[in-house]
């Protein structure tokens, strides 16, 4: 990775065209809000922006093959992503690409395929201002926690609550508290064959969460963590000769 | 579970019709070899036998809804199981049904959907007699280890080797040694939403592995372990009211 | 376990002698409040009561050797338990005895020895009535969740908050929400050699938490889960002969 | 970590004084064989060498406080390390120091305290040349696997076999095959509060294992992985005020 990690920010890009409040909060789009911080960080080689409206839904072979870590934000059009493209993202993760799934991306096709579960959850939008969330650090030794205080407080959020239909995380790094009475596993790490997946709950199409310095730092840390190990070899079904003599 | 666990033994049932050596080893079929031991064990309510050739591939709604734990053996016709039926097995597991996946079932559609990975592995058939395998107990506290010695030795097996493209098991209970020089995670437990999945490597269409007393005991223990917890409620995507007053 | 699980309820037994409010809440002592429910449940063979003031601190060899699962409540006198006795409890767990550690038992010597960490946490006693806690089910497939609703609400509790200095649980089954703004991993399972350990947060010397039907059910379920697998053999350091011929 | 990771190589240093064959294999001592490779790698700031015979057993406060990651080799004198020093190493790990425990270090006091278990295993020294070991990669996505082939073959080793009395690793990265018929979890990662622990099986006082390029690379990768996250804050028992208003 001598030239830095190649990041692709995948953004559904629909709320930006339809919701006035989204436009006000994210005048350059949510993708740019996520990527502009990454662009300036050490170790990042490049940030590419893809949207559902991009050619081949922003998931063409040359995009995927040129991506070390992809961030994924989608909400209202999960079904529009073709099964073929979802399968290709899944395949690339299994081959080593990191995947950072944000907020409502829990219902995206690539994430659900990689988890093997329904990924359902409870949710609530409360009035115009949502409600308070506090993300508590559950594993301070994890590299994604680098530079993060013992909790991140977000004053205005949409609630997500347990039960969250995911496999037990390999490492659980954040647990959220919500004003309305719920909890949520809001930072979850999984290894999947040669790749890594991080689910990070914060985000919303109208709340300015992707400008929060701690949220941005977590996403950046997660990109560093999810960058491919670049192991020689991969996973294949193969018929092999014995390594030992067998009479 | 006052009337005992309702088991369905699902068997592909093709080698039995085509391979003379399979017929010699398993004159009543592999399904029966797996189920006949279970039928006599305490806590088992019933054992139902399903095959790929059964109506609706042996996976009709009334079969699935009447099953607490399903064992799955398939090898040569994974693709024949329809995507719809594979999805229904997956859904039932997420709702609580236990699933015991045996040997070459690692490439079955329901297992791969539940894992979210490719589930590939190395393999080797060595001459007529295969090679020696020794399954070492890696977690003696696990209920599936009840009554099992510190290792199970199988003199004639087909080799399966790492890397095995699965998510890290929630509990790894067996690790196999092979004569030819490989190792394999051969007993793996996962929780998936309300259900449990156990992958158990031993088995083959011509080697008499499903008559081995320890292999049978492990499958029985796994049925007890995978039986549904029958939790009230389930996993749904839902919009909920706050539990706390929010001004 | 044909005659049922032999439970020992270990209770520090000091608040009962010193705190009027403890005596009012638990007129027969906290140990009895924990054990009287277990005594009536199916699968329980016997319930023995031990206290710090019992001979050999209630941890004599014949007590430990005759115990399948021990529940542990202590708070104000952790240091009074001798290092020798703490080491013997640890050793028995590694040999297969289940251990259910309750509430302030997180600072007990046997628990800290088994975890290998400090086991520190945040805490708060708020006025006479404490504050509200809600324990959310994080793993509905787990046997300890049998018969438990999606959350347990306790109106009056002492708060415990993250970071909780424990090893990542092998299975995390409850996450708590607190009125004052914190979260906590309040139901945690670990396998330790041939034994199992469950930490369960609810409890207090003056709040009537051990009369709550759900709390009692969880403790009972945990006893069933933690009962020894009774594997032949154990863990020893040993010099062994090769199983294969080596020239 | 702008000036690089500060490594301390702790070496018991007794076989070097007593065993001719150890002197022949490791003329500069085992510590130097482990450290000389690290000294030249990118990201390493300094390598300090400590031995049991060093002042304060090489574990003085200024040594521990100036160490980001410690490697530990001991075999014949585990009991000579004082309980106080073992407790101080444990405490430093919980505060963030990485610890790489090598081969027979599985019986060292700091490791056993951090694991909370006995850490026993089977072992065998076979003639003058030992036997063949093959370490298979079990998690190719893990950063410790960077640059490592699908297996590492060591022609001459002392055998270590399961059951290995450790807590289930948070990530299991290597599984060993032995010529004599055993398997072993030979690369194991744990998070412990703010610190990380890696157990790596290869090594011996007379076999030249610490000159093997892959073994050296694994130790280096593990140092990078175990370097402290340097989270603000730590783990303490503390009484805290509520974050939310409570009437």
Does any CB of chain B come closer than 8 Å to the CB of residue C17? no
What does the pLDDT read at residue A232? Answer: 47
Say yes or no for a CB contact (<8 Å) between B242 and A126: yes
Q: Please provide the DSSP assignment of B39-54 as one string.
A: TTSTTEEEEEEEETTS
List the alpha helices (DSSP H) in C66-202. 83-95, 109-115
User: Can you tell me whether residue C34 is helix, strand or coil?
Assistant: helix
Chain B neighbours, 3+ Cβ pairs < 8 A? A, C, D
**Where residue C247 falls among pLDDT bands split at 50, 70, 90?**
low
Which of D126, D168, D236 is closest, CB to CB, to C246?
D126
pLDDT tens profile B152-209: 999 999 999 999 999 999 999 999 999 999 999 999 999 999 999 999 999 999 999 9
Least CA distance to B149: which residue of chain D?
A: D163
Least CA distance to C123: which residue of chain D?
A: D239
pLDDT over 70 for what percent of chain C?
A: 96
Q: Chain A closest CA to B29's CA: distance in Å?
A: 27
Q: What are phi and psi of B36, to 5 degrees?
A: -65, -30
| Alpha-carbon separation of residue B7 from B14, B41, B208 (angstroms) | 21, 12, 22
Say yes or no for a CB contact (<8 Å) between C237 and D115: no
User: Can you tell me whether residue D188 is helix, strand or coil?
Assistant: strand
Rounded distance between C-alpha atoms, residue C222 and residue C195, angstroms: 13
The contacts of residue C228 (CB under 8 Å, 6+ apart) are C68, C96, C97, C98, C194, C195
Q: Tell me how crowded residue D54 is: count the other CB atoms within 10 A of its CB.
A: 16
Say yes or no for a CB contact (<8 Å) between C141 and B196: yes
Say yes or no for a CB contact (<8 Å) between A138 and C185: yes
Mean pLDDT of all residues in B24-29: 97
Predicted confidence (pLDDT) at residue D36 exceeds the cutoff of 70:
yes
Whether the bond into A163 is cis, omega within 30 of 0: yes
**Where residue D2 falls among pLDDT bands split at 50, 70, 90?**
low
Mean pLDDT in chain C? 95
Q: Tell me how crowded residue D3 is: count the other CB atoms within 10 A of its CB.
A: 7
Rounded distance between C-alpha atoms, residue A65 and residue B96, angstroms: 38
Does any CB of chain D come closer than 8 Å to the CB of residue C193? yes
Does any CB of chain C come closer than 8 Å to the CB of residue D141? no
Q: List, edge to edge, every strand of the sheet that includes C44-51.
A: C44-51, C5-11, C69-73, C98-102, C195-200, C183-192, C171-178, C131-137, C151-157
Predicted confidence (pLDDT) at residue D233 exceeds the cutoff of 90:
no
Does any CB of chain C come closer than 8 Å to the CB of residue B98? no
What does the pLDDT read at residue C240? Answer: 85
What does the pLDDT read at residue B218? Answer: 98
Residues of D in contact with C118 (CB under 8 A): 94, 193, 235, 237
Say yes or no for a CB contact (<8 Å) between B136 and D175: no
Q: Chain D closest CA to B114's CA: distance in Å?
A: 19
- Is the pLDDT higher at A232 or at D130? D130
Chain D, window 169-188: residues with a beta carbon less than 8 angstroms from a chain A beta carbon: 170-171, 179
| Cβ pair D118, C94 in contact under 8 A | yes
As averages over each run of 10 residues, the pLDDT of chain A (247 residues) reads: 86 96 97 98 97 98 96 98 98 96 98 97 93 96 94 97 96 98 98 97 97 98 93 66 85
What ipTM describes this predicted complex? 0.95
Whether the bond into C163 is cis, omega within 30 of 0: yes
Mutate to test the interface with B, among C114, C140, C155 (most CBs of B within 10 A): C140
Rounded distance between C-alpha atoms, residue D98 and residue D192, angstroms: 10
Residues of D in contact with B190 (CB under 8 A): none
CA dihedral B218→B219→B220→B226, nearest 10 degrees, is 110
pLDDT tens profile A56-113: 999 999 999 999 999 999 999 999 999 999 999 999 999 999 999 999 999 999 999 9
Neighbouring-strand partners of residue C178: C133
What does the pLDDT read at residue C170? Answer: 98
User: Tokens 């999947």 label which residue?
Assistant: A192
Residues of B in contact with D182 (CB under 8 A): 136, 177
Mean pLDDT in chain A? 95
Rounded distance between C-alpha atoms, residue A8 and residue A28, angstroms: 16
Say yes or no for a CB contact (<8 Å) between C141 and B233: no
Whether the bond into B34 is cis, omega within 30 of 0: no
Q: What are phi and psi of C106, to 5 degrees?
A: -60, -25
pLDDT tens profile D55-110: 999 999 999 999 999 999 999 999 999 999 999 999 999 999 999 999 999 999 99
| Cβ pair A38, A47 in contact under 8 A | yes
Q: What are phi and psi of C39, to 5 degrees?
A: -55, -30
Does any CB of chain C come closer than 8 Å to the CB of residue D19? no
Predicted confidence (pLDDT) at residue C1 exceeds the cutoff of 70:
no
Rounded distance between C-alpha atoms, residue A126 and residue A123, angstroms: 10
Say yes or no for a CB contact (<8 Å) between C171 and A176: no
User: Tokens 């100036």 label which residue?
Assistant: D66
Rounded distance between C-alpha atoms, residue B204 and residue B138, angstroms: 23
Rounded distance between C-alpha atoms, residue B133 and residue B211, angstroms: 16
User: Tokens 């340097």 label which residue?
Assistant: D230
Please give the span between the terminal C-alpha atoms of chain A, in angstroms, as a whole number.
46
pLDDT tens profile C185-199: 999 999 999 999 999
Pair type for strands A69-73 and A44-51 = unpaired
Q: CA nearest C228: which of C106, C52, C115, C70?
A: C70
User: Tokens 């040129």 label which residue?
Assistant: A66
Q: Tell me how crowded residue B243 is: count the other CB atoms within 10 A of its CB.
A: 16
What does the pLDDT read at residue C232? Answer: 47
Mean pLDDT of all residues in C118-125: 94
Rounded distance between C-alpha atoms, residue B159 and residue B181, angstroms: 10
Residues of D in contact with C244 (CB under 8 A): 179-181
Predicted confidence (pLDDT) at residue B1 exceeds the cutoff of 90:
no
pLDDT tens profile C12-55: 999 999 999 999 999 999 999 999 999 999 999 999 999 999 99
Residue spans of beta strands (DSSP E) within chain D? 5-11, 44-51, 69-73, 98-102, 122-124, 131-137, 151-157, 159-161, 171-178, 183-192, 195-200, 238-239
pLDDT tens profile C139-174: 999 999 999 999 999 999 999 999 999 999 999 999
Burial of C36 (0-12, 13-18, 19+ CB in 10 A): middle
**Where residue B232 falls among pLDDT bands split at 50, 70, 90?**
very low
Does any CB of chain C come closer than 8 Å to the CB of residue A149? no
Neighbouring-strand partners of residue C123: C160, D239
Mean pLDDT in chain B? 95
What does the pLDDT read at residue A4? Answer: 94
Say yes or no for a CB contact (<8 Å) between A141 and D193: yes
Residues of D in contact with C131 (CB under 8 A): 242, 246
Chain C neighbours, 3+ Cβ pairs < 8 A? A, B, D
| Alpha-carbon separation of residue B161 from A20, A50, B177, B203 (angstroms) | 56, 39, 9, 15
Q: Chain D closest CA to C21's CA: distance in Å?
A: 22
What does the pLDDT read at residue A234? Answer: 57
Please give the span between the terminal C-alpha atoms of chain D, in angstroms, as a whole number.
46
Mean pLDDT of all residues in B93-104: 96
Least CA distance to A96: which residue of chain D?
A: D141
Rounded distance between C-alpha atoms, residue C124 and residue B93, angstroms: 41
**Where residue D235 falls among pLDDT bands split at 50, 70, 90?**
low
Which tokens is A102 given? Answer: 């944000």
Residues of C in contact with A150 (CB under 8 A): 163
Residue spans of beta strands (DSSP E) within D12-141? 44-51, 69-73, 98-102, 122-124, 131-137
D206-219: b (≥16 Cβ within 10 Å) or e:
bbebbebebbbbbb
Rounded distance between C-alpha atoms, residue A122 and residue A192, angstroms: 26
Q: What's D93's DSSP letter?
A: H
Which tokens is C48 given? Answer: 């023995």
Q: What's A40's DSSP letter?
A: T
What does the pLDDT read at residue B239? Answer: 80
| Alpha-carbon separation of residue D2 from A148, C49, D42 (angstroms) | 18, 57, 12
Rounded distance between C-alpha atoms, residue C187 and residue C174, angstroms: 4
Say yes or no for a CB contact (<8 Å) between C107 and D237: yes
Mean pLDDT in chain D? 95
**Where residue C3 falls among pLDDT bands split at 50, 70, 90?**
confident
Q: Tell me how crowded residue C163 is: count the other CB atoms within 10 A of its CB.
A: 24
- Chain centroid, CA A88 distance in Å: 16
What does the pLDDT read at residue A239? Answer: 80
Q: Please provide the DSSP assignment of B81-92 as one string.
A: S-HHHHHHHHHH
Say yes or no for a CB contact (<8 Å) between C195 and B143: no
What does the pLDDT read at residue B3? Answer: 83
Does any CB of chain B come closer than 8 Å to the CB of residue C140? yes
Say yes or no for a CB contact (<8 Å) between A168 and C172: yes
Which of A163, A171, A183 is closest, CB to CB, to C140?
A163
Q: CA nearest C197: which of C226, C224, C220?
A: C226
User: Can you tell me whether residue B65 is helix, strand or coil?
Assistant: helix
User: Can you tell me whether residue C193 is helix, strand or coil?
Assistant: coil
Q: Tell me how crowded residue C4 is: count the other CB atoms within 10 A of its CB.
A: 14
Say yes or no for a CB contact (<8 Å) between D191 and A170: no
Does any CB of chain A come closer than 8 Å to the CB of residue C150? yes
Does any CB of chain B come closer than 8 Å to the CB of residue A156? no
Residues of A in contact with D140 (CB under 8 A): 193-194, 229, 231, 233-235
Q: CA nearest B35: which of B70, B67, B68?
A: B70
Rounded distance between C-alpha atoms, residue D137 and residue D150, angstroms: 6
Mean pLDDT of all residues in B119-135: 94
Q: Tell me how crowded residue D242 is: count the other CB atoms within 10 A of its CB.
A: 15
Q: What's D52's DSSP letter?
A: T
pLDDT tens profile D175-223: 999 999 999 999 999 999 999 999 999 999 999 999 999 999 999 999 9
| Cβ pair D150, D142 in contact under 8 A | no
Say yes or no for a CB contact (<8 Å) between C120 and D235: yes
Which tokens is A124 given? Answer: 């609530």
Does any CB of chain B come closer than 8 Å to the CB of residue A124? yes
Mean pLDDT of all residues in B214-229: 97
Residues of C in contact with A161 (CB under 8 A): 136
Predicted confidence (pLDDT) at residue B215 exceeds the cutoff of 70:
yes
């Amino acid at each position: 990775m001598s030239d830095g990690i190649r990041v692709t920010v995948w953004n559904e890009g629909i709320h930006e065209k339809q919701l006035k409040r989204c436009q006000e909060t994210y005048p350059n789009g949510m993708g740019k809000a996520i990527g502009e911080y990454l662009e300036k960080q050490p170790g990042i080689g490049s940030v590419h922006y893809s949207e559902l409206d991009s050619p081949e839904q922003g998931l063409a072979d040359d995009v995927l093959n040129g991506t070390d870590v992809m961030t994924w934000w989608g909400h209202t059009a999960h079904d529009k992503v073709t099964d073929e493209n979802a399968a290709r993202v899944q395949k690339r993760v299994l081959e080593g690409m990191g995947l950072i799934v944000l907020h409502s991306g829990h219902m995206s096709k690539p994430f659900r395929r990689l988890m093997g579960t329904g990924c359902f959850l409870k949710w609530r939008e409360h009035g115009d201002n949502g409600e308070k969330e506090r993300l508590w650090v559950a594993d301070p030794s994890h590299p994604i926690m680098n530079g993060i205080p013992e909790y991140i407080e977000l004053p205005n959020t949409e609630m997500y609550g347990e039960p969250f239909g995911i496999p037990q995380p390999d490492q659980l790094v954040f647990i959220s508290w919500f004003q309305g009475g719920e909890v949520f596993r809001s930072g979850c790490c999984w290894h999947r064959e040669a790749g890594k997946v991080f689910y990070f709950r914060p985000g919303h199409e109208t709340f300015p969460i992707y400008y929060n310095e701690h949220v941005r730092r977590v996403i950046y840390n997660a990109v560093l963590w999810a960058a491919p190990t670049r192991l020689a070899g991969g996973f294949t079904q193969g018929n092999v000769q014995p390594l030992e003599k067998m009479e």
